[in-house]
Chain A
Amino acid sequence: MSDAIASLADALRNDAETLRVIGNNVANMDTVAYRREIAVTHPTFDQAADAARAEIGRPLAVQSMIDQRPGTLKSTDEPLHLALEGPGFFVIDTPNGEALTRRGDFRLDSDGRLVTQAGNAVLGSQGAIQVAGTPAIAPDGTVRVGGETVAQLRIAQVAAETQLTPLGGDLYSAAQLPDADPAARVRQGFLETSNVESVQEMVRLIETMRHFETVQRFVRGYDDMVGKAITELGKV
């Protein structure tokens, strides 16, 4: 296929991928502490691989990044709902090692341990947190049951420039697990909302759809041009 058509086809695929990103953000508008994806378009082709990639179908030139700005806090009055004020992450024990999350809608499992909705233990400084009864959790992460301190929540701080890898289920992994952050504040009875803004997503949707239409016009125009070249140029 000629070069112009190939790059226009890329543009169409990129728009489709951008629509997937917008769709995912909108679907997760009400997911606790969800972080929106941002579609970033950039040329990725290095010269050497160009020809080969044209043969096998190019990879998407859209990458998604995670917008790490915090959401707002909303009151739920549930004693096991926690939100973090300011930066920081809860540390979760998963079958694949420790992971980070800001999602604080915790529950108890059948053994009375504090776990995430998916059932992975929330880690304190002494490992999993055993709670018998309704806990009171202080802003500094101290977990008390009936006035007695039973555990200290582990709150991890990640440097701003670290790009976290999403693991699904609102968990993230960082290359190296950071130390506890003494400055983090835990708010009991609150949840962090997602940082998706509907206006932003709608504007992005319009932009993407119009761009898609524009590219379609270009493809048609190019198609017309090639058609003319075939039928007209041969005439004497």
Chain B
Amino acid sequence: MTDALYVAATGMRAHQTQVDTIANNVANVNTTGFRRETVNFSSVMAALQSGATDPLGTSVRDTLASRGAGAIASLQLSTNGGELKQTQQPLDVAIDGRGFFEVTLPDGTPAYTRAGALSLDTDGMLASAGLPLSGRIAVPADANDLRITPDGRVLANLPDRQDVELGNIELAGFANPAGLESMGDNLFRATASSGEMRLGTPGETGNGSLRQGYLESSNVQLVDELVSLMVAQRGFEMNSKIVQAADQMLGITNALYQGR
């Protein structure tokens, strides 16, 4: 009875995680470069001690090797790219592929982002959401007609010269991008499971190429999320029924003794 109670509680918790994740995805349906998270359910087995013997030396539980003990939920970052939408803004750069921009956090450590709505920071450096790209590309105040080529070269016209190369944007690639840890603000941090970071020229190392004048929209599909939400909610409800039933069973058991 208490087994069923705790097993169903794991189910409720796992479904709760799913509802929370869907809420976060839906909230970010319009966030540039947002990657949705998906919930993976796994079943859990409680292995019974094999060879456990009773006082008489016979194996009590020889028929059952293990029993189901509920479900747990874990999160996975979707690696699907969102759609590229045209904005015509010279500083909007989308990544057509699996790579990430590398930015430098105020404490000097690197972070990774797909948000390509670039701007200039206070030092005139190309930056994403105020954090400078690690390539440190300075754009002079009098530069115009800024161009970013698919392979990452940043060109501009200066008053005295045409087609001056200001720097190169490099893209960071990971063996397992789904293993990156989300830091909020569209930023990701490398982890042990994401694998070694490789910086490379866009278009050459499988990290994808750059598209100036485009932004990557969030890869959240509202319809998919709403269907998942319904499933998660009903799943939660059903698990709560099992908890109720287990509680009822305990009540009935207590009523066995009539005390007369």
A residues with a Cβ closer than 8 A to B are 12, 15-17, 19-32, 34, 37, 44, 49, 52, 56, 59-60, 63-64, 76-80, 105, 107-112, 117-119, 132-134, 165-170, 198, 201-202, 205, 208-209, 212-213, 216, 219-220, 223, 227
A sample of 24 inter-chain contacts (CB < 8 A) reads A16-B249, A19-B246, A20-B68, A22-B4, A23-B5, A23-B246, A26-B8, A26-B239, A26-B242, A29-B235, A30-B231, A34-B43, A64-B64, A78-B78, A78-B79, A109-B175, A110-B179, A112-B195, A117-B42, A168-B44, A202-B238, A205-B245, A209-B248, A227-B260
Q: Which residues of B contact A26 (CB under 8 A)?
A: 8, 11, 235, 238-239, 241-242
Given contacts A12-B253, A23-B11, contact A223 B40 (CB under 8 A): no
Q: Which 7 A-B pairs rank lowest in CB-CB distance, beginning with the nearest?
A: A27-B11, A168-B45, A110-B195, A24-B68, A112-B175, A31-B41, A108-B176
- Per the bound structure, the CA–CA distance linking A80 and B149 in Å amounts to 31
Give the B interface residue count (CB, 8 A).
68
Chain A at the B interface: SS class: mixed
Q: Which residues of B contact A12 (CB under 8 A)?
A: 253
Q: Which residues of B contact A20 (CB under 8 A)?
A: 3-4, 7, 67-68
- Per the bound structure, the CA–CA distance linking A83 and B109 in Å amounts to 40
The chain A residue sitting closest to B63, CB to CB, is A63
Q: Which residues of A contact B55 (CB under 8 A)?
A: 56
Query: Are B235 and A170 in contact, with the CB atoms below 8 A?
Result: no
0/1 per residue, B36-49, Cβ < 8 Å to A?
Answer: 00101111110100
Is B74 positioned at the interface, with any CB of A under 8 Å from its CB? Answer: yes
- Per the bound structure, the CA–CA distance linking A77 and B223 in Å amounts to 14
10 further A-B contacts with Cβ under 8 Å, apart from A12-B253, A216-B255, are: A19-B1, A23-B4, A23-B7, A26-B8, A29-B238, A30-B231, A64-B64, A109-B193, A111-B175, A165-B65
Is B187 positioned at the interface, with any CB of A under 8 Å from its CB? Answer: no
Is B114 positioned at the interface, with any CB of A under 8 Å from its CB? Answer: no
**Within B170-219, which residues are at the interface with A (CB < 8 Å)?**
175-176, 178-179, 192-196, 206
Query: Are A110 and B41 in contact, with the CB atoms below 8 A?
Result: no
B residues with a Cβ closer than 8 A to A are 1, 3-5, 7-8, 10-11, 14-15, 18, 38, 40-45, 47, 54-56, 58, 60-61, 63-71, 74, 76, 78-80, 98, 175-176, 178-179, 192-196, 206, 231-232, 234-235, 238-239, 241-242, 245-246, 248-249, 252-253, 255-256, 258, 260
Which of A21, A24, A167, A201 is B238 in contact with, Cβ under 8 Å?
A201
Query: Are A169 and B42 in contact, with the CB atoms below 8 A?
Result: yes
Given contacts A56-B54, A78-B78, contact A109 B246 (CB under 8 A): no
The chain A residue sitting closest to B221, CB to CB, is A77
Greatest chain A CB density within 10 A among B5, B249, B258 is at B249
Given contacts A24-B69, A52-B56, contact A16 B8 (CB under 8 A): no
- Per the bound structure, the CA–CA distance linking A227 and B260 in Å amounts to 9
Q: Which residues of A contact B42 (CB under 8 A)?
A: 31, 117-118, 169-170
Given contacts A78-B79, A166-B45, contact A110 B235 (CB under 8 A): no
Query: Are A22 and B252 in contact, with the CB atoms below 8 A?
Result: no
Q: Which residues of B contact A212 (CB under 8 A)?
A: 249, 252
- Per the bound structure, the CA–CA distance linking A22 and B56 in Å amounts to 32
Query: Are B66 and A168 in contact, with the CB atoms below 8 A?
Result: yes
Query: Are A133 and B258 in contact, with the CB atoms below 8 A?
Result: no
Q: Which residues of A contact B193 (CB under 8 A)?
A: 109-110, 119
- Per the bound structure, the CA–CA distance linking A180 and B247 in Å amounts to 47
